[in-house]
Amino acid sequence: MTNLTFKQLRYVDALARHGHFGRAADSCAVSQPALSVQIRDLEQELGTKLFERGARQVRLTGFGEEFAARAREILRSVDELGELARAARGRLVGRLRLGIIPTIAPYMLPRILSTLSERYEGIDVHVRETVTPRLLQELNDGRLDAAVVALPVSEPNLTEVALFDEELVLVRHESEAAAPPPSADMLREMRLLLLEEGHCFRDQALSFCSLQSPRPREGLDGSSLSTLVQMVGAGIGVTLIPEMAVPVETRSAPVCVTHFEGTPPKRTVGMIWRRSSPLADQLGEIAEAVGSCARAMRHQQLGPSGVSAA
């Protein structure tokens, strides 16, 4: 085979991930016809189909699945050659593809971007906000350099660096401001509002309450912490949020914030990257910068007492 190109491999990878020509073309910043022509030409060169075209979805054939997996390995290796060259320069410059989960991004991301821009001249941070399972997949596929997530992720091929621990607090309707904080046993009997499936923060809340899964219910999951807090303000139930979210999410809702007594629920926020990444040393420096930024932000939010004023 003489006509196979890296461009075609990237188009195959994009179409395999998105299952839709339009979305795949958008992700590659090309027109849909251009991507379609390249895929068609590649299939003709191979003498077999890579994709099954349906009315609404595109699926990989059996051969296509194996081809796409091999193509992804090749693309990851090519990307790592570029990372190797960047690492040889000693300082991280150019593109940094950083993933971050939705329960951290709105509260830390502006400060993180500002800190990195100040410390690393010439850095170009590309942010990807999504849930942990997707970030892990994209990190392993080489589509991200690093990610800020809740630890542990417990994947042997990834380096984990803890940045800080933070408490989870209870959000109730403002009419309950004088009520004492409930125990975990009491919380199990309340109408606990949770993020939808896929968010690690949902699992952390369930773990604190020692619940395998919530009681059957209708319409009590939210797609964001903001939605959950507004639902609490409407008198629908109670929820848990991380301390960093308190100033942003509770300022416009009729709610109160309560800290648990005894041993409160906590989460560990950290940064992860591939152990094999040529940028490992530079990413360690990035983790230190992000951790320093996060600690400064938390000190400013919590004050000298170390307790949220909310």
The neighbour count for residue 285, using CB atoms within 10 Å, is 14
Distances (CA, A) of 222 to 135, 190, 205, 231, 243: 20, 17, 14, 9, 18
- Residue 147 shares a structural domain with residue 104: yes
Q: Tell me, what amino acid is at 6?
A: F
Query: Among residues 54, 84, 114, which one ends one of the domains?
Result: 84
Q: Which residue has the tokens 């992860």?
A: 272
Same domain, 22 and 47: yes
CATH of the domain at 180: 3.40.190.10
End-to-end, the C-alpha distance of the chain in Å comes to 65
Is 159 in the same domain as 22?
A: no
Q: Which two tokens stand for residue 125?
A: 């941070």
> What are the backbone angles phi and psi of residue 257, rounded to the nearest 5°?
-115, 130
In a domain, 135, yes or no: yes
**Domain limit, last residue, from 84, 105, 120:** 84
Q: Please list the pLDDT of the chain residue by residue as tens digits (310 residues).
A: 557 888 899 899 989 988 889 888 998 889 999 999 999 999 998 989 999 988 778 999 999 999 998 888 888 877 777 666 666 566 666 789 999 999 999 999 999 999 998 888 888 899 999 999 999 989 988 889 999 999 999 899 999 999 999 999 999 999 999 999 988 888 888 888 989 887 888 888 888 877 655 554 444 688 899 999 999 999 999 999 999 999 999 998 999 999 998 888 899 999 999 998 888 888 998 999 888 888 887 777 665 545 554 4
76 and 211 in a common domain: no
Range of the domain at 143: 93-164+267-302
Q: How many domains does the chain have?
A: 3
The verdict on 289 and 151 lying in the same domain is yes
Tell me the β-bridge partners of 166: 267
Handedness of CA 231, 235, 237, 240 (dihedral sign): positive
Query: Which CATH number belongs to the domain containing residue 41 in this structure?
Result: 1.10.10.10
Q: Is the residue at 52 inside a domain?
A: yes
Enumerate residues 6+ apart whose C-beta is below 8 A from 235: 173
Q: Residue 235 falls within a domain, yes or no?
A: yes
